[in-house]
Chain A
Amino acid sequence: MLFFILKRIAGMIPAMLAISVLAFTVIQLPPGDYVSTYAAQIAQSGETVDSAVLNNLRERYGLGENVVVQYFKWMGGIVRGDFGQSFEWNQPVTDLIWGRMGMTALISVLTLVLMWAFSLPIGIYSAARQYSITDYLSTAFAFLAMATPNFLLAIVLLYITTMWFGVSVGGLFSPQFENAPWSLAKLWDFITHAWVPIFVLGTAGTASLIRIMRANLLDELHKPYVEAGRAKGLPEARLILSYPTRVALNPFISTVGWVLPALISGELIVSTVLNLPTAGPLLLQALKSQDMYLAGAFILLSGGLVLIGTLVSDVLLAISDPRIRLS
């Protein structure tokens, strides 16, 4: 098992490098280099530019040299924990991103867990009672949820709570807790706020997971081993839960590979609409002002988050499926 995990981690290295190249490409795409933009911005605000500082920055990112050297300088910095400088905030990217990225990860993982908690039983029930009222209802819900862009859902939710309940549901904390240390009261405050983004983020994914679980299980329900289990006298509910569901669970586990990227994508939009203190609004702002080191760091980190998620799902899959573990 340990060997299996190590092998998977080794397999992730090329993917991580590819993501870093991608992130770096995005950094490089806008015309003009970062220091010139920085200088132009300072000049615009009427301050004087110290050419020594600029040269220093040029040196640090190897801006005069070719792209490959720049890439390695950038990567070298990241390995040491230096993601570059955000010129808009005039702060190291590292200081800006970790806290918010942590919140993004927290919201995404919480959503993922809740999505599973809902979609699994509904999907199983829907398949086991194919063409029942519940099946039709869950199918109808699934299609509707998949067709609604989540920012729209967020706004509708905002609208409804504002119009009907007179409260606004934005943010993750009430003002008094925003900078307070964690406590039970803050946790409760977090829960009362976090359900909105989690609900908005999770709806579409839950819907597609229900569809996937239902389809997986329907494929399995007519396999001979199910009939064999029935023939030996297993009660129907126990039969379905312990045999075909176990098998159908395996492809379901591997959906983490694309659910997590989708969640991170969605989180970005939803957090912008709901104004959450996560990485989303920061990234959007960075992109709009072409603050590319910040943006690149975000793409890199979210890619890393996905890789870790995929690793976890691979390990879970190996635990659940002996065919993978033993081959």
Chain B
Amino acid sequence: MTLEAPLPHQDDDLLDRQLNAGQLQAAGQWTMVWNKFRKHKLAVVSLFVVALIYFVALLAEFLAPYDPGKFDPRYTYVPPQSIGWFVDDGAGGQSFQPHVIGFDIKLDPVSFRRIFTPDPTQVIPIGFFVPGQSYKMWGLFDMNLHFIGPLDPSQPFFLAGGDRLGRDLLSRTIHGTRISMSIGLVGVGLSLLIGMILGGISGYRGGMVDRVIQRVIEFIRSVPTIPLWLGLAAAMPKDWPPLQVYFAILIILSLIGWTEIARVVRGRFLSLRTDDFVIAARLDGVSEFRLIMRHMMPSLYSHIIAAITLAIPNMILAETSLSFLGLGLQPPIVSWGVLLQDTQNLRAITQAPWLFVPGACVVLAVLALNFLGDGVRDAADPYAK
């Protein structure tokens, strides 16, 4: 309990030197965290990527050229088009006109597959901020403006190709971003709530309560998650409306995801409880509430942010896996996992490898979140040596 060994020594003229060098800044916790975080270049890049992905999720309706359910059987498995920027103006010169190239469509009489041949004569002009299919932004405002789209809405426009029903994969992936990323965020929010409360009680109170909660956490971590999730998901009545399924899946995922956050919170509370500065505050006569909120919590925020950032990708992976197996979200809800169900068909992916696009999104999002979380975790305690 006592520390007999002298602690590392210091220099008493540190202040003078700092004052002379003009280095003494009033750097608070977040400045310190940010300064440390900034050194982790990959994490900074990831921060922008993650921000971008959430931006896409936020403005899905506007950014997507079409409604995710809009289908056109003529364009079953249509390959992706690429954007060209200049067209011949007929006078031997080039003029600026963003466009895509249309297709010459033939039906293979044997396999009944459609064969798409790009036809350079079919120039389909496209534009930005163009009116198109109307939609309700965030379910609130009627709008019909799209970030990008063909000037003539009846023309084909498939930047990421089309699927089995001739739906635009780009639009579907963008809408899937909203569902998948929000499942991650909201699910972690729910986990956070459970994890903070149980981890906090466990670490702050200690004793019997702590031992019971620890056993529960150990147990939950030892259960293979997918069979359990599947079991719970399978038990859901099949006639539930999509929104209810969405929330049920959320709850199922976070019922298991809270343990990691609880572990972090408990660990921090446990060590904070005996830290000298917390004892000092208690001996200043600070109330229990103020002790926790004002003296202990600030040391926890950055650790919690790190734990959250690292928990979101796991949620996303879990949702994707569950939906992929057909036991998570169900169409017509569009999530990355739901979209990836199409890849289960080997013939489909050999014919239309662009069906992997949502998969690439999963990898990118998880990668960025993991890097970001790593960076935040390393920067979380700027006072440690």
Interface residues of A (CB under 8 A from B): 14-15, 18-19, 22-23, 26, 29-31, 143-144, 146-149, 151-152, 155-156, 158-159, 162-163, 168, 257-258, 261-262, 264-266, 268-269, 272-273, 283-284, 287-288, 290, 292, 295-296, 298-299, 302-303, 306-307, 310
Known contacts being A29-B232, A269-B324, A288-B234, is A306 close to B222, with CB within 8 Å? Answer: yes
In the assembled complex, the Cα of A23 lies from the Cα of B346 at a distance in Å of 34
The A-contacting residues of B in range 222-251, CB under 8 angstroms, are 222-228, 230-235, 237
Residues A265 and B340 in contact, CB atoms below 8 Å apart: no
Residues A258 and B363 in contact, CB atoms below 8 Å apart: no
Residues A147 and B230 in contact, CB atoms below 8 Å apart: no
Tell me the nearest residue of chain B to A152, going by C-beta.
B359
* Selected contact of B344 from candidates A147, A155, A288, CB within 8 Å: A155
20 more A-B residue pairs beyond the given contacts A155-B356, A159-B349, A306-B223, with a C-beta to C-beta distance below 8 A: A19-B219, A23-B231, A143-B367, A144-B367, A146-B366, A149-B324, A149-B362, A151-B321, A152-B340, A155-B344, A159-B350, A264-B226, A265-B224, A284-B327, A287-B327, A288-B327, A295-B230, A295-B234, A298-B227, A303-B223
Residues A261 and B225 in contact, CB atoms below 8 Å apart: yes
Residues A269 and B321 in contact, CB atoms below 8 Å apart: yes
Interface string of B332-364 (1 = CB under 8 A from A): 000000001001101001100100100100111
Q: A163: which B residues are within 8 A, CB to CB?
A: 350
Residues A299 and B237 in contact, CB atoms below 8 Å apart: no
Tell me the nearest residue of chain A to B349, going by C-beta.
A159
Q: A257: which B residues are within 8 A, CB to CB?
A: 221-222
Known contacts being A152-B362, A158-B346, A284-B325, is A26 close to B228, with CB within 8 Å? Answer: yes
Known contacts being A143-B371, A149-B317, A269-B324, is A29 close to B235, with CB within 8 Å? Answer: yes
In the assembled complex, the Cα of A18 lies from the Cα of B221 at a distance in Å of 13
Residues A287 and B219 in contact, CB atoms below 8 Å apart: no
The answer to whether the Cβ of B320 comes within 8 Å of any Cβ in the partner chain is yes
Known contacts being A31-B237, A302-B227, is A147 close to B370, with CB within 8 Å? Answer: yes
Q: Provide a sorted-by-A list of 24 A–B residue pairs whose CB atoms are within 8 angstroms.
A: A15-B219, A22-B223, A26-B232, A26-B235, A143-B367, A147-B362, A149-B321, A151-B324, A151-B325, A152-B343, A159-B349, A159-B356, A162-B350, A261-B224, A265-B226, A269-B324, A283-B227, A284-B327, A287-B230, A288-B327, A295-B234, A296-B231, A302-B227, A306-B222
The smallest C-beta distance from B385 to any residue of chain A, in angstroms, reads: 12
Known contacts being A148-B363, A159-B349, is A26 close to B222, with CB within 8 Å? Answer: no
The smallest C-beta distance from B250 to any residue of chain A, in angstroms, reads: 17
Q: B69: which A residues are within 8 A, CB to CB?
A: none
The answer to whether the Cβ of B125 comes within 8 Å of any Cβ in the partner chain is no
Q: A155: which B residues are within 8 A, CB to CB?
A: 343-344, 349, 356, 359
In the assembled complex, the Cα of A12 lies from the Cα of B321 at a distance in Å of 30
Residues A159 and B353 in contact, CB atoms below 8 Å apart: yes
With a 10 A CB-CB cut-off, give which of B235, B327, B356 has the most chain A CB atoms: B235
In the assembled complex, the Cα of A89 lies from the Cα of B137 at a distance in Å of 48
In the assembled complex, the Cα of A303 lies from the Cα of B367 at a distance in Å of 30
In the assembled complex, the Cα of A180 lies from the Cα of B237 at a distance in Å of 42
Known contacts being A143-B370, A149-B362, is A261 close to B324, with CB within 8 Å? Answer: no
Tell me the nearest residue of chain B to A146, going by C-beta.
B370
The smallest C-beta distance from B133 to any residue of chain A, in angstroms, reads: 30
In the assembled complex, the Cα of A283 lies from the Cα of B47 at a distance in Å of 39
Closest 6 interchain pairs by CB? A29-B235, A265-B226, A287-B234, A26-B231, A147-B366, A147-B367
Residues B221 and A258 in contact, CB atoms below 8 Å apart: yes
Residues B234 and A30 in contact, CB atoms below 8 Å apart: yes
In the assembled complex, the Cα of A162 lies from the Cα of B353 at a distance in Å of 12
Q: B320: which A residues are within 8 A, CB to CB?
A: 149
With a 10 A CB-CB cut-off, give which of A151, A163, A258, A295 has the most chain B CB atoms: A151
Tell me the nearest residue of chain A to B359, going by C-beta.
A152
In the assembled complex, the Cα of A288 lies from the Cα of B238 at a distance in Å of 10
Tell me the nearest residue of chain B to A306, going by C-beta.
B222
Residues A19 and B223 in contact, CB atoms below 8 Å apart: yes
Residues A159 and B223 in contact, CB atoms below 8 Å apart: no
Residues A272 and B325 in contact, CB atoms below 8 Å apart: yes
The smallest C-beta distance from A205 to any residue of chain B, in angstroms, reads: 13
Residues A262 and B224 in contact, CB atoms below 8 Å apart: yes
The smallest C-beta distance from A67 to any residue of chain B, in angstroms, reads: 15
The answer to whether the Cβ of B184 comes within 8 Å of any Cβ in the partner chain is no
Known contacts being A159-B353, A162-B350, A290-B234, is A299 close to B367, with CB within 8 Å? Answer: no
Q: B232: which A residues are within 8 A, CB to CB?
A: 26, 29
Residues A162 and B346 in contact, CB atoms below 8 Å apart: yes
Tell me the nearest residue of chain A to B225, going by C-beta.
A265
In the assembled complex, the Cα of A15 lies from the Cα of B221 at a distance in Å of 11
Q: B343: which A residues are within 8 A, CB to CB?
A: 152, 155
Residues B324 and A299 in contact, CB atoms below 8 Å apart: no
Interface string of B292-317 (1 = CB under 8 A from A): 00000000000000000000010001
In the assembled complex, the Cα of A224 lies from the Cα of B247 at a distance in Å of 52
The answer to whether the Cβ of B166 comes within 8 Å of any Cβ in the partner chain is no
Q: A162: which B residues are within 8 A, CB to CB?
A: 346, 350
Q: A290: which B residues are within 8 A, CB to CB?
A: 234-235
Residues A306 and B235 in contact, CB atoms below 8 Å apart: no
The smallest C-beta distance from A27 to any residue of chain B, in angstroms, reads: 9
Tell me the nearest residue of chain A to B227, going by C-beta.
A299
Q: A296: which B residues are within 8 A, CB to CB?
A: 231
Residues A302 and B224 in contact, CB atoms below 8 Å apart: yes
In the assembled complex, the Cα of A18 lies from the Cα of B219 at a distance in Å of 8
In the assembled complex, the Cα of A168 lies from the Cα of B228 at a distance in Å of 31
Tell me the nearest residue of chain B to A158, going by C-beta.
B346
Residues B346 and A159 in contact, CB atoms below 8 Å apart: yes
* Selected contact of A266 from candidates B221, B226, B231, CB within 8 Å: B226
